[in-house]
Structure formats: C-alpha cells, structure tokens
Copies of this chain bind each other. A is one copy, B any other.
C-alpha cells in the first residue's frame, strides 16, 4: 500500500475527486487472456450507484465505466487496464461555506493541515465517490477470479445498522438482494427502515457493520509475516472511507473465547481435511485455510448531517456548520459492494503472489 496504489502484483491505482471531470483506476498486473468488457464491470458499479433508494444519496450519477486500455478484441492483454468514470452530476452549487469551515468528522481539517489547501467540492479526493474506482477495479478482479477459481464467490451484506444487529439465526442469503440494506435477515428490514427514517427526519445519521464472505478460496494464499492475507484485508477494509474497525472470523470477540472454544478442530471429510468450526475466519498464520474467508468492518455514521455542529473557520473563528446537500443517512449501506470489491482485489493479488512463489502447488495431506 503506497499512497494511491494497493496490491503486490495485481496493483490498483486510483485517482479522481468528487467534483472533478472524472475518476478512475489503473489496474496493473492483470493476467492476459481473460474476457473482459464494460458489461462485466458495470453491474458492480450499478450496485454501488447512489440514488437507488431513499436511504442513499440522491446524487444522480450514471457511473458508466469505460475501459480505455489493456483489452483488445474483448480479452485482457496483460497491459494496464485504465478504467474511467465521468462525473456527470457535479451540481454547480455553492461551496463557499464548506471551503470556509471544517466539517467535523470529515477530512477537511486534516487535508488542510497536511496539504495547506484542499478541493472543497464534495470533499474532493476524500469523498466516498472514490470508491467507485475501487468497485470498477474489483469488477476486473472478479472477472479474473471467475476464470482462475471458478467456484469462488464473494458476498457482502449488512449485519448491523446503528445499534440493531441482524439475527444470524434467520440469515437467508437469498434475501440480500431483496432489500435496500443488503441484510440477509428479512425481519430486520422493517425495523431498520423505521430507525433510519427516524434519523433522517432528525437530521441525524448512523453507522453500520458489513460482513464480506469469500467461499471457495483455495488454501495457501497469504504469506508470513507482513504480507499476510489478513493484514492485507485489514488494510484494504480500513482504507475504505469511514471504516473504524476490521475483524477476521471471531474478530474482537476472540478475546473473550477460551482456547478450548477457539480451536477449530480438524477432521477428515470426503473431499479432504475439514474444520469443525471457523473462528479463524479462514486464515491461520496469515494464510488461507480453504474455509470461508470472513471479514467484517464497521462504518461510522455519515458525518454530513443537518444538525449544527461546532467547528472552526479556516481563519480560526469558532462557528457552527450544517452540512446540506445530498448525503446518505448511512454510508455503510453503499459500502457493501466496496467491501466486496476490496476482497476480490486482495484475493486475486494473493492468488497471483502465491503463484509467483510456489507455482500454486499445494502440500498434500494423506492420499
């Protein structure tokens, strides 16, 4: 991870501001010979697109991705893939207030300190709009994974909205696409709608917890000690806007387990070794076990709220600010496809990195 690039050998570099002419990603190190078209990427962007329910920002962006390089006759060539998304709805509003004051919870003040200046229009580079570029890159990663590891699936969903946790005993993954929250517990939907509507009316917002699960991940991905799969996933998820916590498997609750409980015992199943539980979240010693890779992350409440908050002007005067405009009452909702995209990129990167070192050959157990 180095400034605006991440990945070891499948490397993604993103650029663009919320209200600049466009934003994009350059995807480098992509294997050649993979069928790829805009139509393979666009559906993931459409999932993330704003304005799909009353619970996401009403900004209207087409978010149409264009592939500008690295694909010839519908197939990746192994050269860098430039992905570009035009910004079409940079509403010509008045940014003078945001330019003059620091919005609490936003990067306004830290950008000001670090760079001495900032692009105040929609948060500039720190806007969650940047995540569109990640989702586009994730679409490329998914297309490659689909070919290299056919059974692999990546699914993100919400497990908590504000203080309300979904009921895991009721999880039905078929529900995830059936509600505006991507929650697999249908019973939560009405409660969450009511809660979020209430917050919106108050000019308030809330946070969320998202879980992303990858099934079918081959064992052996990752590497000690700093190129660990879990370390890279942690960085990838913590790097998403507004994320404040990342968990693998049992996560923070692992602290409260005993060693007897936490041991994921191993038996021999029909297809090879089988673990009897997965507190490890599919990763031991930084390397995948072949079980589900399970990551969770917490997204803080949207900082742009209609309730006045104390702050300073750029000239150091005490003032208040109300952040008007079109904002998600819970940015966590739209973080679901972003988390999936980051998972896809990290897994592909480690698949390629493992292939570099080991050739993808696996040690045998029995047989």
Contact = CB atoms under 8 A, between A and B. Distances in A.
A302 interface: yes
A80 B236 CA distance: 19
Given A75-B117, A287-B110, A238 B248 contact: yes
A254 B286 contact: no
A163 B279 CA distance: 16
A188 interface: no
Contacts of A14: 80, 225-226
A147 to B, nearest CB: 11
Interface string A280-300: 110111111110000010111
Interface string A251-265: 111111111111111
A366 to B, nearest CB: 2
A299 B77 contact: no
A130 B79 CA distance: 12
Interface stretch (A42-50, A51-59, A171-179, A307-315): A307-315
A359 B32 CA distance: 10
A357 B148 CA distance: 12
Contact of A312 (B15, B283, B298, B365): B365
Given A238-B248, A266-B311, 20 more contacts: A5-B13, A13-B26, A22-B69, A22-B82, A29-B357, A31-B357, A69-B125, A78-B111, A111-B287, A114-B219, A130-B225, A162-B255, A233-B238, A244-B251, A245-B247, A245-B251, A247-B298, A252-B296, A254-B299, A312-B366
8 contacts: A3-B225, A31-B359, A32-B117, A110-B289, A206-B259, A260-B305, A263-B309, A316-B367
A102 interface: yes
Contacts of A231: 1, 234-236, 238-239
Contact of A254 (B220, B223, B245, B355): B245
Interface string A310-341: 11101111100000000000001000000000
